[in-house]
């Protein structure tokens, strides 16, 4: 009999959450193990129990398929259907496209228990002939996540990815602006696209993402302490309506300290909004909004940047490039990589190191050159002292 249980746990931020585990019967004849499915992240015991009961009802109508006959297509379909509700719209579309266009046409008919590292490596080699490295690496991440879920559910003893060499993926350096070009850009936007001006101002001075800026409300900003608390982001699914959702990752929910210059500009911006909107202004009002008080589409920010860039003859930088500009300036100023990673809201410092390897390499070369000049200087001085002693 398939059974389930609800449990509670405490997150790293000391928040109480609930989850459930379902044990599926009968046992897998190949392994003798009972497959288990665990879901976490529910705010209440009642919500977790309700989700568990719904899950159990869905399993009643689902024939048991064991690893011996479970094809990748069958498993991936179930995995994606179960996981899609927790994915952001863009991520959901990406997973679906990667599965349908690249993975399942090649490996979909194979039983998951028969998929080996050599099959996966052959897939990468074949796709590398016609796809960019970044796309092949995305395929790698989706397939790895899919099969790891099969291991966690008890349908695989181990993941074939233990012996897979990940496809080479180097993030090319992204164009960034010089300080002079950045302020030229802001001056043009202030005059021609004031709404996008404030969005660009925040991106350059804080490194916030486009959706984070679009979802920023005045209640998130403490102008007395100069701290921005990021709690949400604005999404626009393809062909859909904007909606507010949680930040991209756990690390994206963060505090950003800003300079006095940023505080002063935000005060002026806030006062201007309050004078225009009067009684309709509230702490829940969005910091960046259109003259009719409607929140702008995040994509409109990028359009404004492209117009300004072409008008001013600036490097081919996107709105997201303003975030990279901020990070590059921090690193070039000697700010520790961990601080930069936390400020950008990356889930790990490894991501920051990979993206900005070209910057840190340049800083290392500069440091080595300084060290070499110091060593040459001291060696010259010491040589002079030795000559005097010999005399």
Q: Do 193 and 337 belong together in one domain?
A: yes
The confidence score (pLDDT) of residue 89 equals: 72
The answer to whether residues 371 and 349 belong to one domain is no
How far apart (Å, rounded) are the C-alpha atoms in residues 10 and 320?
A: 35
Taking Cα atoms as reference points, which of 160, 150, 155, 159 lies closest to residue 29?
Answer: 155
- At 176 the pLDDT is 86
Q: What's the number of CA atoms in the CB half-sphere (13 Å) around residue 364?
A: 7
Same domain, 235 and 349: yes
Do 349 and 360 lie in a common domain?
no
The pLDDT value recorded for residue 52 is: 86
Q: How far is the C-alpha of 389 from the C-alpha of 34, rounded, in Å?
A: 84
327 and 212 in a common domain: yes
pLDDT in tens, 8-25: 998 888 889 999 988 876
Q: Is residue 174 part of a domain?
A: no
How is residue 244 written in tokens?
Answer: 């507010």
Question: Does residue 143 sit in the same domain as residue 162?
Answer: yes
Looking at residue 125, what is its pLDDT? 93
Domains identified in the chain, total number: 4
Residue 279: inside a domain: yes
Per-residue pLDDT in tens (0 to 9) along the chain, 391 residues: 567 889 999 888 888 999 998 887 655 545 556 677 889 889 899 998 988 888 877 766 554 445 446 899 989 998 988 887 777 777 888 899 999 999 999 999 999 989 999 999 999 999 999 998 889 999 999 999 999 988 888 788 888 998 888 887 766 677 889 999 999 999 999 999 998 999 999 999 999 988 899 889 999 999 999 999 988 888 766 656 666 777 766 667 889 999 999 999 999 999 999 988 888 889 999 999 877 667 777 678 888 999 999 999 999 999 999 999 998 898 888 888 888 888 888 777 777 677 777 666 666 666 667 666 766 777 666 655 544 433 2
Q: What is the pLDDT of residue 382?
A: 62
Those residues whose C-beta lies under 8 Å from the C-beta of residue 39, and which sit 6 or more positions away, are 19, 20, 48, 51, 52, 55
Domain span at residue 361 reads: 356-391
pLDDT of residue 390: 37
Q: What is the CATH number of the domain that holds 121?
A: 1.10.150.130
Please report the pLDDT score of residue 37 as a whole number.
Answer: 83
Whether residues 235 and 109 share a domain: the answer is no
CA distance 376 to 19: 63
- Residue 33 shares a structural domain with residue 109: no
Instruction: Return phi, psi of residue 44, to 5°.
Output: -140, 160
Instruction: Give yes or no: residues 148 and 296 share one domain.
Output: no
CATH of residue 207: 1.10.443.10
Question: Which residues lie closer than 8 Å to 89 by C-beta, 6 or more apart?
Answer: 235, 237, 238, 240
């Amino acid at each position: 009999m398939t059974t389930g249980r609800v449990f509670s746990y405490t997150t790293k931020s000391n928040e109480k959450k609930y989850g459930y585990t379902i044990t599926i019967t009968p046992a897998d004849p190949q392994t003798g193990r009972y497959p288990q499915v665990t879901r976490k992240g529910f705010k209440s015991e009642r919500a977790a129990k309700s989700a568990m009961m719904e899950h159990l009802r869905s399993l009643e109508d689902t024939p048991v398929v064991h690893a011996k006959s479970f094809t990748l297509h069958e498993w991936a379909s179930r995995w994606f259907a179960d996981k899609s509700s927790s994915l952001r719209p863009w991520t959901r579309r990406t997973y679906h496209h990667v599965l349908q266009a690249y993975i399942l046409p090649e490996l979909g008919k194979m039983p998951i228990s028969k998929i080996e590292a050599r099959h996966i490596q052959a897939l990468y080699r074949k796709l590398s002939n016609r796809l960019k490295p970044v796309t092949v690496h995305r395929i790698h991440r989706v397939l790895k996540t899919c099969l790891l879920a099969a291991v966690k559910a008890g349908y695989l003893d181990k993941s074939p990815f233990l012996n897979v060499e990940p496809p080479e993926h180097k993030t090319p350096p992204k164009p960034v602006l010089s300080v002079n070009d950045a302020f030229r850009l802001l001056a043009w936007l202030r005059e021609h696209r004031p709404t996008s001006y404030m969005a660009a101002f925040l991106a350059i001075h804080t490194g916030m993402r486009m959706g984070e800026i679009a979802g920023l409300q005045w209640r998130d900003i403490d102008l007395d302490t100069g701290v921005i608390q990021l709690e949400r982001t604005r999404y626009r699914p393809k062909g859909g309506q904007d909606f507010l959702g949680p930040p991209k990752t756990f690390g994206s929910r963060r505090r950003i300290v800003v300079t006095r210059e940023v505080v002063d500009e935000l005060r002026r911006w806030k006062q201007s909004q309050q004078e225009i909107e009067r009684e309709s202004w509230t702490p829940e009002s969005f910091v960046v909004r259109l003259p009719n008080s409607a929140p702008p589409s995040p994509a409109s920010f990028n359009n404004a940047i492209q117009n300004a860039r072409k008008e001013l003859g600036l490097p081919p930088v996107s709105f997201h490039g303003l975030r990279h500009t901020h990070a590059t300036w921090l690193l070039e100023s000697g700010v520790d990589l961990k601080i930069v990673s936390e400020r950008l809201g990356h889930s790990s410092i490894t991501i920051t190191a990979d993206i900005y390897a070209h910057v840190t390499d340049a800083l290392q070369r500069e440091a080595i050159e300084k060290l070499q000049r110091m060593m040459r200087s001291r060696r010259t001085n010491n040589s002079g002292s030795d000559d005097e002693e010999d005399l």
